[in-house]
Amino acid sequence: MNYYHIARESLGFFPTPLVALSKLSKKLDGPTIFMKRDDNTGLALGGNKTRKLEFIIGDALAKGADTIVTAGAAQSNHCRQTAAAAASLGLECHLVLGGKEPAQASGNLLLDKIFGCHIHWAGANRKGEDIPDIVEQLITQGKKPYVVPYGGSNELGALAFVEAYKELESQRKSMNLSFTHIIFASSSGGTQAGLMLGKKAFNSPCQIVGINIDKGETDKVPFDQYTLSLANRTAKLIGADYEFSESDLILNSDYVGEGYGVVGALENEAIALTAQTEGILLDPVYTGRAMGGLIDMIRIGVIKKTDSVLFWHTGGAPALFAYSNDLDFAQKF
Ligand SMILES: *Cc1c(COP(=O)(O)O)cnc(C)c1O
């Protein structure tokens, strides 16, 4: 495994903290729960995309780009962190966002605007279908655009989570911990592919369990196939001799509910419980759903009291402000 020749731009603060959620664990009468605080990566209110962007923006700079283009939902955490990274490096940033412009910008969208990026509203095309046209226009204007893939989930983005695994291993050892499961929100596949590769590279016995957030597909390929192929392509990139098969991919799709970004009782309970026992904010779209999944798996006995869980907090809390109407518990006083 060798990736130290790959360009990287420092954008965040690492290592992120690894903390015990002993009160939540007690409340659930459940297993030991630790949390990896990637909501504290430091770039523009943090999140897992900061790790990916260190390698992806590193590549953009190495290739002489002066303009960054990426896509996502209107409340995309990925787009917000990309906008901040671009601003910090003096790069022009174009975001292609799904839906249409709301009457008032809040949450991540407000932050995108504060970072001064150009926003293109794409209607139903929230996964970057309109990017080729925009790139062509930018080239005509004499710019050197660089496209950051949807969710930052290419080999460079996944590589960041091999590096993150290494960071976790070093904390785990110095704190004398062991984990049976690593649980996190999985949506465009980069986090999961990188953690799968990290598990192999560090010969770790724990299960890497992605909680599926989106019914959809990435690059027109079903999500599980995309993630598996990304793990294999990333292994090649770093010269690791692994071939992942379907049995290596644990993707739990039981909690997708009504689909991407549709907040229900599961997310409401998880957000309230984590905030009110631990003083930690989850987000409505990703970590609220993933924690809701973990809570349910504890209740139905899929995860046992004797297990030891690491919940990887991937960020996203800025979206809370845009979802206040869906957080029923917080509206009832
Ligand atoms: C993007 C994102 C995820 C999912 O990560 P992927 O690598 O896209 O699967 C999870 N949580 C939050 C808060 C995110 O912004």
If you measure from the C-alpha of residue 191 to the centroid of ligand 1, how many angstroms do you get, rounded to a whole number?
7
- The pLDDT assigned to 2 comes to 80
Segment 106-123 shows an average pLDDT of: 97
Whether residues 255 and 111 share a domain: the answer is no
Q: What domain range includes position 27?
A: 18-46+154-326
Buried b (16+ CB within 10 A) or exposed e, 235-263: bebbebebebeeebbbbbeebbbeebbeb
Main-chain dihedrals φ then ψ at residue 138, nearest 5 degrees: -65, -40
41 and 133 belong to one structural domain = no
Report the number of distinct structural domains present in the chain.
2
Q: Whole-angstrom Cα distance, residue 308 to residue 157?
A: 27
Active site residues: 76
Domain end, chosen from 152, 187, 218, is at 152
pLDDT tier, 228 (very low <50, low <70, confident <90, very high otherwise): very high
C-beta of residue 208 within 8 angstroms of C-beta of residue 250? yes
Please indicate whether residue 227, judged by its CB atom, sits closer than 6 Å to ligand 1: no
User: Does 82 contact ligand 1 (Cβ within 6 A)?
Assistant: no
Backbone angles phi, psi at 119, to 5 degrees: -110, 130
Question: What's the pLDDT tens digit per position in 242-270?
Answer: 999 999 999 999 999 999 999 999 999 99
Closest by Cα among 262, 283, 265 to 274: 283
Tokens of 111: 């932050």
Residues 237 and 322 in one domain: yes
> Does residue 181 sit in the same domain as residue 32?
yes
CATH of the domain at 72: 3.40.50.1100
pLDDT of residue 314: 98
Q: Give residue-wise pLDDT tens across range 61-114.
A: 999 999 999 999 999 999 999 999 999 999 999 999 999 999 999 999 999 999
Q: What is the mean pLDDT of residues 127-138?
A: 93
Ligand 1 mean position, distance from CA 327 (Å): 20
Instruction: Examine the fold and report which residue of 135, 152, 169 is the final residue of a domain before the chain moves on.
Output: 152
H or E segment to which residue 92 belongs: strand 92-97
User: 111 with 95, same domain?
Assistant: yes
Look up residue 19 and give its two tokens: 């903390």
pLDDT at 284: 98
pTM > 0.85: yes
What is the tens place of the pLDDT at every residue in 314-331? 999 999 999 999 998 888
Same-domain check for residues 136 and 205? no
Specify whether 220 is located in the same domain as 293: yes
Amino acid residing at 179 = F
Shared-domain flag, residues 265 and 159:
yes
Considering the domain boundaries, does residue 333 fall inside one?
A: no
Are 235 and 89 members of one domain?
no
Q: 31-67 burial, b for 16+ CB within 10 Å, e for fewer?
A: bbbbbbbbbbbebbbbbbbbbbbbbbbbbbbeeebbb
Mean pLDDT of the chain: 96
pLDDT, position 329: 87
Neighbours of 107 (CB within 10 A): 23
> H helices of 11-152, where?
22-27, 49-62, 77-88, 107-114, 131-140
Q: How far apart are CA 109 and CA 253, in angstroms?
A: 28
The pLDDT of residue 71: 96
Residue 333 has pLDDT above 70, yes or no: no
Is the domain of 281 the same as that of 162? yes
**Ligand 1 site, residue 33, Cβ cutoff 6 A:** no
Q: How far is the CA of 314 from the centre of ligand 1 (A)?
A: 6
Residue 304: exposed, middle, or buried by beta-carbon count in 10 A (0-12, 13-18, 19+)?
Answer: exposed
